[in-house]
Amino acid sequence: MTSKNIVKLLNDQIQKEFYSSYLYLSMTAYFKSVNLDGFANFYFIQAQEEKDHALRIFDYMNQIGAKIVLEKIDAPKVDFESIEEVLKLALEHEQFVTKSIHNIVDVALSEKDHSTYSFLQWFINEQVEEEDTADGNLKKFQLVGNDGRGILMIDAELAQRVYTPPVANN
């Protein structure tokens, strides 16, 4: 039986994942506006994956018969001054999400909620990847600084990213 406490945390996490999607969509719009289509492609896919994360929790909550309460999604930042600002914010945001996931894991452990604990393992691993990718993007950018050719090389690399839909019931 999942506690009210955990149900609330899972509902909050659905909201955080949708907010993440919204934030990355806003970053996509910024990169489109400065004609960096590779960066825009990367963040557009990121936005889709965050929506998938929200739906993964939605599915789990339905499976365990928990009451889903969809919460208000705040507006993300829309004005960005530089590429570096976006990349830093993306990394900070993923670090924030990792803390949030770890907190739910802590509570699940303390309540001996093995089902939720097991469910969250996927998210723990996903956050390791998310932070690594965001950190990699920031470091690559910092290497090239404001060199236009370097930025275009990163843009070309990020243009290669392809969206992979999640596998059902995984």
Q: Can you give the binding site for Fe ion, defined by CB under 5 A?
A: 17, 50, 53, 130
Distance, in Å, from the CA atom of 113 to the CA atom of 60, rounded to the nearest integer, reads 14
Comparison of 101 and 151: residue with beta carbon closer to Fe ion: 101
Q: Which is nearer to Fe ion, 18 or 31 (CB)?
A: 18
| Closest approach of Fe ion to the CB of residue 54, in Å | 8
Burial 112-134 (b: 16+ CB within 10 A, else e): ebeebbebbeebeebbeebbebb
What is the nearest approach in angstroms of Fe ion to the Cβ of residue 51? 9
User: Least separation, in Å, of the C-beta of 32 and Fe ion?
Assistant: 20
Q: At closest approach, how far in Å is the CB of 152 from Fe ion? A: 26
Cβ closest to Fe ion, residue 17 vs residue 113: 17
* Dihedral angle, C-alpha 22, 94, 126, 102, nearest 10 °: -110
Q: Which is nearer to Fe ion, 50 or 113 (CB)?
A: 50
Pick the closest to residue 21 from 73, 85, 78 (CA basis).
73
